[in-house]
Amino acid sequence: MYSNSIDIVEVSPRDGLQNEKTLVSTADKVALVERAIAAGARRIEVTSFVNPKAVPQMADAEAVCTGLPVRDDVTYIGLVMNARGAARALDTGRIDQLGAVAVATDQFAMANQGQTSDGSVEAAKDIIAMAQAAGKTGQVTIGAAFGCPFEGEVSEDRIVAMAQAIAEAGPIEIGLADTIGVANPAHVASLISKVRGAVPGLPVRVHFHNTRGTGLANLWSAILAGASVADCAIGGLGGCPFAPGAAGNISTEDVIYMLDRAGVRTGMDLQHLIAANHWLADVMQRPLPGMVAKAPPFPKQA
């Protein structure tokens, strides 16, 4: 048996766009957030507060925040890598939740944020503390949890130990990210059950990239294993500037089609998402990876 509902975090404005070479206007980023809300998204990763030299697409983080619709029922998430980014996010007054990243391997942690894996765990705990001190919430995603672009296989024991260390800081959830899209459903089931056993009561969020076509299978396996939150991106855009060969996130509309048909509620509306895919394809001036938006409706509309 599996849960009949899960929560969705829409990550297109951040993870979806961060690797795009063409700079998307602030107005279009805000419009993307508005479309996500109209489609039912209630947690949205809106931007990241990183060095604009490292990620030029996110240079307008503060301006995006200024443009966000004022909504009591939507949680806006800002991704941050360090105390400086956390302070920037909190200074906007518009970010409800800080998202931190701890990376499973030293080589990827060094490439992604210039620190060791252990250093990234400590930084993530500090970010959670800053969020809490400001009356906000914090969550942590463990990057490269299923495999590393530089070091290869990542041991489950390492991820469990990181989750336990992070849990001490009181995050609202632990995210497990397949940053480079190498996971398979059996690995996903195994790791989630170990992490849930190690940090009982702490919700597990999953973040899959579809680099090798296993994204939706991994998500389904994660739901069966008890993950309660999933990241996905309208259109299936996405990638990581620091992970060679990383491709898009699982697409929100493909996820919602699958879950709707399987009887798992998300609160999101497929027709709005398909329209958002078509709008975003116009903005990006190319077809997007998501598949449902290219397919005929099923079942047939009356």
Q: Residues interacting with Zn ion, by CB under 5 A?
A: 15
Is residue 240 part of the annotated active site? The answer reads: yes
**Main-chain dihedrals φ then ψ at residue 138, nearest 5 degrees:** -135, 150
Q: Please give the C-alpha separations between residue 235 and each of 137, 192, 207, 213, 219, in angstroms, as whole numbers.
A: 28, 26, 15, 15, 17
- Sign of CA pseudo-dihedral 285, 11, 121, 93: positive
Paired tokens of 140: 């942590």
Q: At what angle do helices 252-262 and 215-224 cross, to 10 degrees?
A: 40
d(CA 228, CA 71): 23
d(CA 295, CA 281): 15
When the beta carbons of 15 and 60 are compared against Zn ion, the nearer one is: 15
When the beta carbons of 68 and 142 are compared against Zn ion, the nearer one is: 142
Map residue 137 onto helix, strand or coil: strand
Minimum distance, C-beta of residue 103 to Zn ion, in the bound complex (Å): 12
d(CA 118, CA 94): 30
d(CA 255, CA 238): 15
When the beta carbons of 136 and 207 are compared against Zn ion, the nearer one is: 207
- When CB distances to Zn ion are compared, the closest residue is 15
Minimum distance, C-beta of residue 48 to Zn ion, in the bound complex (Å): 11
Residues marked as catalytic: 240
